[in-house]
Amino acid sequence: MRQRHPAATSSEHLVIVGNGMAGHRLVEALLARPERPARITVIGAETAPAYNRILLSPLLAGELQHDALALRCAEWYAEQGIELVLGEQVESIDRSARRLTTDAGRELDYDRLVLATGSTPARPPVPELELPGVQVFRDLHDADALARAAETGSNAVVIGGGLLGLEAAEGLRKRGQDKRGMQVSLLQRDDRLMNRQLDLTAARLLESELRGRGLDIHTDAQLERLEADAEGQVCAALLADGTRLAADCVVVAIGIVPQAELGRVAGLEVNRGIVVDQWLTTSDPAIHALGECCEFEGHTFGLVEPIWRQVEVLAAHLSGETVDGYVEQPTATKLKVSGVSLYAFGPTDPEPGHEVLSYRDPQQGDYRRLLLRDGRLEGAVLYGDTASGPWYFEQALAERDLSACRAALLLGAADAQALLDDASNESPQHPAKEAA
């Protein structure tokens, strides 16, 4: 459905709360549009201007320096005529007065408000999580603190074997290896790493690669509690099976929770996230939400790809353009651990009606598993050579019938596409054939 929102008036003041990846991308998208709101203010709780949060993992691993993460400096905002307030947290919104207040006591009136407050790390229901030495991995401060821990500590335990936990564990191991050689253990509650993306075979390949690098991986692991030493600093993690792992640093990476409290307190409709419609509008027509803090049709978000699509819809909407509403689409997952190539989308295990095609080359360390239904691709897991991943994903999004190239599907994009092209040339509907 397409909708046109009236263009912003010259005096309209747009306030964006959150100078993270979504908030910043929205600024860039608005600047590309002449009909944008005339006055834009951005308020961010972090002290640094927006940076590429995705690159915190290579930063922790010591593969990148801080400046590689920068998106725009504070001066750039000033040059664009945008007021940027950093290091202040918006504490309350008075919707009837259209005014917000920050923790520094600043009051700001708005005509239109965008909440882009992201999410916070989820915490397992384990006592002693407040102990010194227990950390999360969300922002620059966390990455710096973990880097220091890797350089000075001896043992780390990472709780969570999903994308973030794996990147944290591998980052700590890599960062620490040149110094004292930190021993890193990783706890995964499920029977496999990345259980939301990988089948068992790919997860085992990943596990064996990471074990080979020195990570101590515990699957089916149930954390019972953490122990403190005489100074009150965390010193060990105890598992339900009695295993005791020494730990001067514990990283909690079990998932994220939308940061929706500001919206909840302001009386907006909130479930897990701030509920928005197709135009990212909340239950208050003057307030929008996007990124990890929002919830659309029961979905919340944890990857940037859908957030970029939200940004385009909202920027167009705020600039008075006619625009199609946001539509949920599947996303593909990649892991940012150097030397490990992984690409996955769709269901992790076959469902009734799925045809399974798989290929494994133990010599090369390659594994591919495709799930098809009625000739159409619904899921893929690629480990090792992932070059064809985006092509598979494209075919799945287009719901293309791949029956004509089934024999070459596992060989990769080039071979499969060649067969598809041949088949379409032979088709009686094909213009080339008709012309001939």
Ligand X SMILES: Cc1cc2nc3c(=O)[nH]c(=O)nc-3n(C[C@H](O)[C@H](O)[C@H](O)COP(=O)(O)OP(=O)(O)OC[C@H]3O[C@@H](n4cnc5c(N)ncnc54)[C@H](O)[C@@H]3O)c2cc1C
Binding site for ligand X (CB under 6 A): 17-23, 43-46, 53-54, 56-57, 89-90, 116-118, 137-138, 164, 167, 259, 262, 291-292, 302-305, 307, 336
Q: Which residue is nearest to ligand X (CB)?
A: 20
**Could you tell me the smallest distance in angstroms from the CB atom of residue 142 to ligand X?**
8
CB-wise, 353 or 390, nearer to ligand X? 390
Per-residue tokens: 350:
């076959």
**Could you tell me the smallest distance in angstroms from the CB atom of residue 108 to ligand X?**
11
Per-residue tokens: 205:
């390949």
Half-sphere exposure in the Cβ direction for 79 (13 Å, CA): 6
Residue count of the chain, please give it: 436
The single-letter DSSP state of residue 129 is: T
d(CA 153, CA 80): 44
CB-wise, 214 or 255, nearer to ligand X? 255
Half-sphere exposure in the Cβ direction for 71 (13 Å, CA): 19
d(CA 416, CA 46): 47
CB-wise, 60 or 372, nearer to ligand X? 60
- DSSP string spanning 278-307? TTSB-SSTTEEE-GGGEEBTTB---SHHHH
**Could you tell me the smallest distance in angstroms from the CB atom of residue 21 to ligand X?**
4
Neighbours of 397 (CB within 10 A): 13
Q: Which run of H or of E encompasses 318?
A: helix 304-318
CB-wise, 308 or 391, nearer to ligand X? 308
**Could you tell me the smallest distance in angstroms from the CB atom of residue 407 to ligand X?**
34
d(CA 367, CA 199): 11
CB-wise, 203 or 262, nearer to ligand X? 262
d(CA 417, CA 369): 18
CB-wise, 55 or 357, nearer to ligand X? 55
**Could you tell me the smallest distance in angstroms from the CB atom of residue 196 to ligand X?**
14
Neighbours of 248 (CB within 10 A): 19
Residue 171: partners with Cβ closer than 8 Å, 6 or more residues away: 57, 58, 60, 61, 62, 146, 150
**Could you tell me the smallest distance in angstroms from the CB atom of residue 281 to ligand X?**
17
Q: Which run of H or of E encompasses 331?
A: none
Q: What are phi and psi of 33, to 5 degrees?
A: -120, 120
CB-wise, 282 or 402, nearer to ligand X? 282
d(CA 409, CA 249): 45
3-state secondary structure of 367: strand
Distances (CA, A) of 361 to 44, 183, 205, 387, 410: 48, 31, 12, 15, 12
**Could you tell me the smallest distance in angstroms from the CB atom of residue 186 to ligand X?**
15
Per-residue tokens: 266:
């302001």
d(CA 346, CA 233): 42
d(CA 380, CA 372): 9
CB-wise, 8 or 262, nearer to ligand X? 262
CB-wise, 131 or 303, nearer to ligand X? 303
**Could you tell me the smallest distance in angstroms from the CB atom of residue 141 to ligand X?**
10
CB-wise, 163 or 223, nearer to ligand X? 163
**Could you tell me the smallest distance in angstroms from the CB atom of residue 149 to ligand X?**
15
**Could you tell me the smallest distance in angstroms from the CB atom of residue 399 to ligand X?**
23
